C-alpha cells in the first residue's frame, strides 16, 4: 500500500467522498468561493464536451459561474472507485448525472431550456496539510441531451 496503513487508507477514501460531496453541493447551491477552496491552485480540468483543451482552475470557476447563474443545476455523483496511491495522492472514477434548468425566455448553454446528461468523472487528488484537494478532473459522457428553448421571432 505504498506506506499508507490500512486505517489511513480507509480514512482517505472517506475524506475524498466528503470532498466530492461538497463539490456537488457547492456547485448546485452556487457557493463559488467555497467551491474554489476544494482545488489546488494548479488544478487542471477538462470538459471535452465544451472545450477540447484543459482549463486552469481560474478559467473553470469563471465558466461554471457563467453557465449556471440564473439557472438551477442538479449534479449527483454515484459509485466511487477510489484508489489511494500514496499517503498524499489518490485517483478515482465517479458515475454522475446532471440536470440544468434555465428560466423561461433566458436560454442557457447551447440555447438550452434544459440539459440532462450522464457520464463519469476521472479525477486525481493531492493531500496538502492533511486536507485532500482536487488536482485534476475530466468528464466523459455516456449521454448529453439538450432540450432547446423555443425561439421567439419578433
Question: What residues make contact with its own copies under the rule CB under 8 A?
Answer: 6-7, 10-11, 13-14, 17-18, 20-22, 24-25, 28-29, 72-74, 76-82, 93, 95, 97, 99, 101, 118, 120, 142-143
Which neighbouring-strand residues pair with 72?
101
Q: How far is the CB of 36 from its own copies (least distance, A)?
A: 18
Of 37 and 59, which has the nearer Cβ to its own copies? 37
Q: How far is the CB of 104 from its own copies (least distance, A)?
A: 14
150 grid coordinates: 423555443
Q: How far is the CB of 19 from its own copies (least distance, A)?
A: 10
Residue 119 to residue 87: CA distance in whole angstroms: 29
For 10-73, give the DSSP string.
HHHHHHHHHHHHHHHHHHHTT-HHHHHTTEEEEEEEE-TTT-SS-EEHHHHHHHHHHHHTTSEE
Would you call 109 helix, strand, or coil by DSSP? helix
Q: How far is the CB of 56 from its own copies (least distance, A)?
A: 26
Of 25 and 128, which has the nearer Cβ to its own copies? 25
Q: How far is the CB of 58 from its own copies (least distance, A)?
A: 25
Of 95 and 133, which has the nearer Cβ to its own copies? 95
CA 115, 34, 19, 42 torsion: positive or negative? positive
Of 61 and 118, which has the nearer Cβ to its own copies? 118
Amino acid at each position: 500500500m505504498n506506506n499508507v496503513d490500512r486505517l489511513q487508507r480507509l480514512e482517505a477514501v472517506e475524506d475524498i467522498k466528503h470532498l466530492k460531496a461538497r463539490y456537488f453541493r457547492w456547485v448546485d447551491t452556487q457557493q463559488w468561493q467555497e467551491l474554489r477552496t476544494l482545488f489546488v491552485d494548479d488544478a487542471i480540468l477538462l470538459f471535452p464536451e465544451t472545450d477540447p483543451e484543459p482549463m486552469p482552475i481560474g478559467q473553470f470557476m469563471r465558466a461554471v459561474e457563467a453557465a449556471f447563474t440564473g439557472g438551477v443545476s442538479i449534479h449527483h455523483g454515484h459509485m466511487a472507485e477510489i484508489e489511494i496511491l500514496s499517503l498524499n495522492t489518490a485517483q478515482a472514477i465517479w458515475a454522475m448525472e446532471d440536470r440544468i434548468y434555465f428560466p423561461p425566455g433566458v436560454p442557457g448553454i447551447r440555447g438550452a431550456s434544459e440539459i440532462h446528461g450522464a457520464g463519469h468523472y476521472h479525477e486525481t487528488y493531492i493531500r496538502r496539510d492533511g486536507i485532500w484537494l482536487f488536482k485534476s478532473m475530466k468528464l466523459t459522457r455516456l449521454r448529453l441531451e439538450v432540450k432547446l428553448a423555443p425561439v421567439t421571432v419578433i
